[in-house]
Chain A
Amino acid sequence: MDIIDIRELCHRFPDGTQSLADISLTINSGDFVLIAGANGSGKTTLLKHFNGLLRPESGTVRVCGVPVQDDPLAARKNVGMVFQDADSQIVGDTVYDDVCFGPENLRFERDDIERRVKTALAAVNLGGSMNKSPHHLSGGEKRRLAIAGVLAMTPQVMVLDEPFSNLDYPATATVLQQIQQLHRGGHTIVVTTHDLEKVITLANRLVVMDRGRIVRDGSPADVVGEIDAYGIRPPCSVLLGQGIQPWLR
């Protein structure tokens, strides 16, 4: 079943720069889609169209069959977005408050909010940090908190923009495991990155973007051999002729 359906999407920045051109993309329920591209290729701009944070110049974006422009709130309920900079996403005074933020916006009952917050924090192993100030968490914990904040809204699709940027090895490994668990739990996952190494084995589809266009779209095994031409470094194992190998052992 199509959960996100994009047809001939074009977007232009206020200064006139064409950031997305003629994007058509369909994401099915349960997919793990990796969107790769060099800096400035339009990955983040595309993601912001998934939940109506940007308005298209032309074309349509549908989430669960409903045009995003008609009902952005429904799109935001269904598509949870984790931003690249976790700090800018944190709005609560405590870890608990931050995870509450989404469910409170959706006006759930207080008991339901409590339940959602506890479940989301447990899912990212932050259950013991409820009363901590988010600004005192480590980089990896902040990223997991951002994921919990979105999880508490129980979206069908989780969109993660460069989820491993600025993380050390243990934090990257933890976030990677969380993403893997979310996918196993039935979430549709969309991840953007220019560093394929860590996450390529989890994805069942690789979409390559270049200068605002989709230039390759297929299974990672089929596409990975051609990504070098678009400014994306292939995983080491591919460069060494060993095919796609998991980053986590």
Chain B
Amino acid sequence: MFRITRAGDSAVAALNVIGYKPGHSLLHELDPRTKQILVMILSTACFFGGYYFLGLVSLCLILCFILSRIGVVRTFRQTRYFLFFLCFLFVVRTVTFTERFVPVFTPEQVQSAAVFCWRLLLIVLMGVLLISTTRTADIRAALVWGLRPVPFVNERTAATMVGLIVRLVPLMLVQAGEISDAMRSRCVESRRKPLSRMSRFTIMLFRRAFNRADDLVETMQARCYNEYRAVRILQFARIDMLAFCIAGALVATALFS
């Protein structure tokens, strides 16, 4: 369940992690297609890149966070649930059991689990950077461009679905934070059965999420929302070429190091 240190911070905290943060940094100025392609290429490279590549990508990401004025520490704090999940994965991949169920740790397993978690973390951080520095409308426009050549896929419908999800996820997180606050203000912690707490929370969350989704659909319909709305005009610039060159150099380190 969500635990927010200060009441009322939940909504803004949720939007800070998931949502777009207005700005004029280099990453903000990059073409959304460039950002999406780079995230795909670098994410794939993360799965086979060695320490040298992962280290370089980590440094680049830290630099990107600083340039975009998105606090690295704050991002870690706000994605702490994912970090807990990573810790869980680390433990699961580190421990093996003998035939007599005795847990065994080996340095190789620890090393392998650490690299696996490092890779996942880098991919998630790239996603956070993409969403934080790209407007939803631009993500949609880039998807329409990218999916156009794919046969049997209506690129506008697909892009609309992604756009709606991007809009709905922060709303759901806001709802979760508000429900959690409301339940804690009525001393839900004093209930002994965690399952009962969780079931009440989940039922409320789904009910409110569906209601909010209905409201959102209604307000969008009132403003004539449709699949064939005007798409933002996208334009590659020199900075995109530079970004591709840097990404190319990074991928080369993954291939040849």
A interface residues, Cβ below 8 angstroms from B: 48, 51, 53, 73, 76-77, 80-81, 83, 85, 88-89, 91-94, 97, 100-108, 110, 113, 131-133, 135-136, 149-150, 153
A101→B167 CA distance, assembly (Å): 13
A131→B21 CA distance, assembly (Å): 10
Residue B223 at the A interface, CB < 8 A? yes
Question: Using Cβ atoms and an 8 Å threshold, which residues of chain A touch B136?
Answer: 92-93, 97
- Contact between chains at A135 and B15 (CB < 8 Å): yes
Interface segment among B102-110, B196-204, B227-235: the answer is B227-235
Residue B190 at the A interface, CB < 8 A? no
- Contact between chains at A53 and B223 (CB < 8 Å): no
Residue B29 at the A interface, CB < 8 A? no
20 further A-B pairs in the complex, CB-CB below 8 A; given A80-B222, A91-B216: A51-B222, A53-B221, A76-B221, A81-B222, A85-B215, A88-B215, A88-B219, A91-B167, A91-B220, A94-B20, A101-B220, A101-B223, A101-B225, A104-B229, A104-B230, A105-B224, A106-B224, A132-B22, A133-B21, A153-B224
Residue B9 at the A interface, CB < 8 A? no
- Contact between chains at A94 and B216 (CB < 8 Å): no
Query: For residue B136, which residue of chain A has the nearest CB?
Result: A93
Question: Using Cβ atoms and an 8 Å threshold, which residues of chain A touch B93?
Answer: none
A107→B229 CA distance, assembly (Å): 5
A91→B229 CA distance, assembly (Å): 14
- 13 intermolecular pairs with C-beta atoms under 8 Å apart: A76-B224, A83-B218, A91-B216, A92-B137, A93-B22, A94-B22, A101-B220, A103-B230, A107-B228, A131-B22, A135-B12, A135-B15, A136-B12
User: Smallest Cβ distance from A146 to chain B, in angstroms?
Assistant: 9
Question: Using Cβ atoms and an 8 Å threshold, which residues of chain A touch B223?
Answer: 76, 101-102, 105, 149-150, 153
Residue B11 at the A interface, CB < 8 A? yes
A132→B218 CA distance, assembly (Å): 24
Query: For residue A76, which residue of chain B has the nearest CB?
Result: B224
- Contact between chains at B230 and A107 (CB < 8 Å): yes
User: Smallest Cβ distance from B132 to chain A, in angstroms?
Assistant: 10
Which 5 interchain pairs have the tightest Cβ spacing?
A: A93-B20, A88-B215, A105-B224, A102-B223, A104-B230
What does the 1/0 interface line of B40-59 toward A look like (CB < 8 Å)?
00000000000000000000
- Contact between chains at A135 and B230 (CB < 8 Å): no
- Contact between chains at A104 and B22 (CB < 8 Å): no
- Contact between chains at A88 and B212 (CB < 8 Å): yes
- Contact between chains at A104 and B219 (CB < 8 Å): no
Question: Using Cβ atoms and an 8 Å threshold, which residues of chain A touch B215?
Answer: 83, 85, 88
Residue B111 at the A interface, CB < 8 A? no
A230→B81 CA distance, assembly (Å): 51
A53→B135 CA distance, assembly (Å): 28
Q: A91-B167, A94-B20, A97-B137 are in contact. Are A135 and B11 (CB under 8 A)?
A: yes
Question: Using Cβ atoms and an 8 Å threshold, which residues of chain B touch A103?
Answer: 230
A91→B221 CA distance, assembly (Å): 12
Q: A88-B212, A149-B223 are in contact. Are A110 and B230 (CB under 8 A)?
A: yes
Residue B96 at the A interface, CB < 8 A? no
User: Smallest Cβ distance from A107 to chain B, in angstroms?
Assistant: 5
- Contact between chains at B216 and A88 (CB < 8 Å): yes
Query: For residue A54, which residue of chain B has the nearest CB?
Result: B218
Query: For residue B164, which residue of chain A has the nearest CB?
Result: A91
Q: Give the contacting residue for A76; candidates B19, B222, B233; CB below 8 A.
A: B222
- Contact between chains at B226 and A105 (CB < 8 Å): yes
- Contact between chains at A94 and B135 (CB < 8 Å): yes
User: Smallest Cβ distance from A30 to chain B, in angstroms?
Assistant: 22
A210→B197 CA distance, assembly (Å): 40
